[in-house]
Amino acid sequence: MTLDVAALRDEFPMLSRRVGGKPIHYLDSANSSHKPNCVIDAMSTFMREAYSPIGRSSYALASEASDAYEGARSKVAAFINAYSPCEVVFTKNATESLNLAAQSWGRANLDKGDAIVLTHMEHHANIVPWQMLAKEKGFEIRWVPLTPDFQLDLSSLDQLLRGAKAISFTSMSNVLGTINPTRELCEAAHAAGAIAIVDGCQSVPHMTTDVRAMGADMLAFSSHKMCGPTGVGVLWAREALLAAMPPFLGGGGMISEVRLDDFTCAELPNKFEAGTPPIVEVIGLGAAVDFLNRVGMTEIRRHEIEMTNYAYRALTTRYGDAITIHGPTNPELRGATFSFAFRDVHPHDVSQVLDQHNVYIRAGHHCAKPLMRLIGANATARASMYLYSNESDVDALVDALDDVSTIF
Amino acid sequence: MSNLEDLYREVILDHYRSPRNKGELPPPATCTEGANPLCGDEIKIFLDVADGVVRDVRFSGHGCSISQASASMMTTIVKGKPLADVRAVAKRFKQLMTIEENDGTTPTDIRLGDIEALQGVVKYPVRIKCAVLGWNTLLEGLDSTST
């Protein structure tokens, strides 16, 4: 079954926004997605009718709110096929999730003489937290290189993993769209005695996620890229791993006992949720998960493959050699995220001209400077799509690029 | 596309397509690097200063049309000027870009010439940092040569 995109678009109020009297074409969903009415309403209704602090108060509304919050946790756990809701930790965003992994698991497990493996296509959020810790602890960071067609070069993976304690990698590149062989990487890590940490920011919103099938040990992703609100991210990790990890942030909610000379931690997942959590946002994320389940992750992926085909054909047919699309050409191997160079026009100038046509793309280094160096660009223009993207968005992009040619 | 014509004036595109004073200067000229971490633009300003005068100036690096054109126009106006005049022009330019207030110390009769064409940038606040990248790097270079 294909998606009824027109009907879906009606559920996203921002998509009917007009600027300068004309419709907008939002092609920046890899950055952040728009929100459907059901998410906006769930948050607004909760604040109007059911708001209460959670966890610590005994009145009826508090336990109702706690149930709603924990209900959202269960929804997220089921969405990624976690073994148990207690493996789902709510954070501020995926960046904090990866910092949690580094500062808690990494700090306890990595020392001088140890090594971890990252890849050349990581977002800064999966590089800098490890570099910060490595500066302090003196462990080695090894890098999986890329092949000329923008895949991970796995030919030396076993060698890189030898003696390493973890590999942390993205399941889908936010610049190239490349979908990585997550299961193969997790298996290789385990064979080498390392754990596998997956940055799922770009894949979780767009395709079925099954942490058991992929064999991951940790998975980080953010709500705001998957139709949920900003302000909440997720770190999923195997229960045994979380149980053995020291706490990350200290404070209320994460303790079971505090004395003047010591404290003990709360049970999972509270151990990793210090302070009042983003209650409203978590409720919103729960509603986003319901929405994505209703639409169907398989259908979303299929739609995005179709849109990838459509965009690839439209851009290359019109512009041929004038446009260079970075990333794999096979739509099965990539998400609907296109980084491109248009003639020799600087990406900021491209995006400025496109803005004039209400075509919204991202220009810059996409928080992946090591990868940009490999591509040989300081910046790229990036158009990225989601379940609500349609042919009209792509057509608007293709047409607006004509104007870039006219000016430059 | 009237708005864009305000931003991408012909004189700006001309400096972008045919940048003036693009290149490097050998030591003892100083080299100062500037970068725009948000967009990845990078610039180097080479300065040959003697007897309180900018005898020669070059720029290299890569960036968008606004940052490149602004740097190119900057080199043409500061070349051969006494340091005090260069600083005054820089200050005047930053006022034009609305990132510095006129505190009354800058003569208002300073002529910016072609650079005035960059005024259209002000309507696009995220591009202001592109326009001033070269200028800030120049000022940093002047500070390091005069100490």
The whole-angstrom distance between residue A25's C-alpha and the CA centroid of its chain comes to: 22
CA distance B64 to chain A (A): 5
More confident site: B38 or A111: A111
Query: Looking at chain B, which residue has its C-alpha nearest residue A407?
Result: B8
Name every residue in A having a CB less than 8 A away from some CB of B. Answer: 346-349, 352-353, 356, 363-365, 369, 372, 378-379, 403, 407-408
Q: Which of A133, A132, A89, A125 is nearest to A107 (CA)?
A: A133
List chain B residues with CB under 8 Å of A352.
4, 7, 124, 127
Looking at residue B144, its pLDDT comes to: 85
Distance from CA of B53 to the nearest CA of A (A): 34
Which of A276, A294, A312 is at the close of a domain?
A: A294
pLDDT of residue B108: 66
Closest residue on chain A to B64 (Cα):
A346
Would you say residue A107 lies in a domain?
A: yes
Q: Which domain holds residue A185?
A: 40-294
Answer whether B39 sits within 8 Å of A349, measured CB to CB: no
Closest Cβ opposite residue A378 in set B13, B42, B124: B42
* A9 assigned to some structural domain: no
CB atoms within 10 A of CB A315: 21
Same domain as A361, residue A345: yes
Residues pairing with B32 in the sheet? B45
| Domain final position from A275, A294, A313 | A294
Q: Does B86 touch chain A (CB under 8 A)?
A: no
The answer to whether B64 contacts A365, with C-beta atoms less than 8 Å apart, is no
| Chain A residues closer than 8 Å to B65 by CB | 346, 349, 408
Residue A244, in any domain of the structure: yes
**The pLDDT value given to residue A314:** 96
Residues of A within 8 A of B6 (CB-CB) are none
Q: Is residue A279 domain-resident?
A: yes
CATH number, domain containing residue A362: 3.90.1150.10
Report the candidate in A382, B79, A250 with the shortest Cα–Cα distance to residue B89. Answer: B79
Q: Answer yes or no: is pLDDT of B111 > 80.
A: no
B44 sits in the region (left: phi over 0; alpha: psi -120 to 50; else beta) called: beta
Same domain for A262 and A388, yes or no, is: no
* A379:B13 CB<8 A: no
**What distance in Å separates residue A378's CA from the closest CA in chain B?**
5
Name chain A contacts of B41, Cβ cutoff 8 Å: 378-379
Inter-chain residue contact B65 with A379, CB threshold 8 Å:
no
ipTM value for the complex: 0.86
Residue B40's pLDDT is what?
Answer: 77
Contact of B36 with chain A, judged by CB distance below 8 Å, is answered with: no
Number of domains in chain A: 2
Q: Does B127 touch chain A (CB under 8 A)?
A: yes
Task: Clarify whether A186 is annotated catalytic.
Answer: no
- Are A273 and A377 in the same domain? no
- Containing A40, the helix (H) or strand (E) segment is helix A37-45
> Residue A379: inside a domain, yes or no?
yes
Residues A268 and A258 in one domain: yes
Percent of chain B with pLDDT over 90: 62
Q: Do residues A66 and A90 share a domain?
A: yes
Angstroms from B29 CA to nearest CA on chain A: 26
Which is the catalytic residue, given A186, A201, A227, A367? A367
A221 lies in the same domain as A114: yes
pLDDT class for B113, splitting at 50, 70, 90? confident
A208: domain CATH number is 3.40.640.10
Task: At A270, list the tokens.
Answer: 């509270």
Kindly list the domain boundaries of chain B, sorted by start residue: 2-145
Residues A259 and A383 both lie in one domain:
no
Based on the domain organization, do A251 and A156 belong to the same domain?
A: yes
Question: What pLDDT is stored for residue A212 in this prediction?
Answer: 98
Instruction: Over range B73-95, report the average pLDDT.
Output: 93
B contacts of A364 (beta carbons < 8 Å): 38-40
Per the rule left: phi > 0, alpha: psi between -120 and 50, beta: everything else, A360 is: beta
Computed on alpha carbons and rounded to an integer, the radius of gyration of chain B in Å comes to 14
A245 and A313 inside one domain: no
So what's the pLDDT on residue A172?
A: 98
Q: How confident is residue B100, by pLDDT bands cut at 50, 70 and 90? A: confident
Task: Report residues of chain A scoring pLDDT below 50.
Answer: none
Residues A306, B114: Cα–Cα separation, whole Å:
48
- pLDDT band, very low/low/confident/very high, at B106 (cuts 50, 70, 90): low
Give the nearest chain A residue to B2 (CA atoms): A356
Tell the burial category of A214 from Cβ atoms under 10 Å away from its Cβ (0-12, 13-18, 19+): buried
- Is residue A33 situated within a structural domain? no
How many angstroms separate the CA atoms of B110 and B77, rounded? 11
> Distance between CA A129 and CA A124 in Å, rounded?
8
The C-alpha atoms of residue A387 and residue A58 are separated, in whole angstroms, by 41
> Residue A221 and residue A214: Cα distance in Å, rounded?
15
- Cβ of A356 within 8 Å of Cβ of B64? The answer is no
Q: Are residues A104 and A237 in the same domain?
A: yes
Q: Which of A19, A175, A343, A352 is the mutation pick for testing B, counting most B CBs within 10 A?
A: A352
**Given CB atoms, is B48 within the 8 Å cutoff of chain A?**
no
pLDDT value at position B1?
44
- Do A125 and A147 fall within a single domain? yes
| Interface with chain A: mutation pick from B9, B43, B65, highest number of A CBs within 10 Å | B65
Q: Which of A294, A326, A341 is a domain's end point? A: A294
Sort out which chain A residues have CB atoms less than 8 A from B127's CB and list them. 348, 352
Is there a domain that residue A12 lies in?
A: no
Q: Chain A contacts of B4, Cβ < 8 Å? A: 352-353, 356, 407
Q: CATH classification of B2-145, choosing from 3.90.1010.10, 3.40.47.10, 3.40.630.30, 1.10.3720.10?
A: 3.90.1010.10
Residues A403 and A342 in one domain: yes
The residue of chain B with its CA nearest to that of A355 is: B4
Our CA-based measurement puts residue B13 at a distance from the nearest CA of chain A, in whole angstroms, of 8
DSSP secondary structure, A345-395, as one string: B-HHHHHHHHHHTTEE-EEE-TT-HHHHHHHT-S-EEEEE--TT--HHHHH
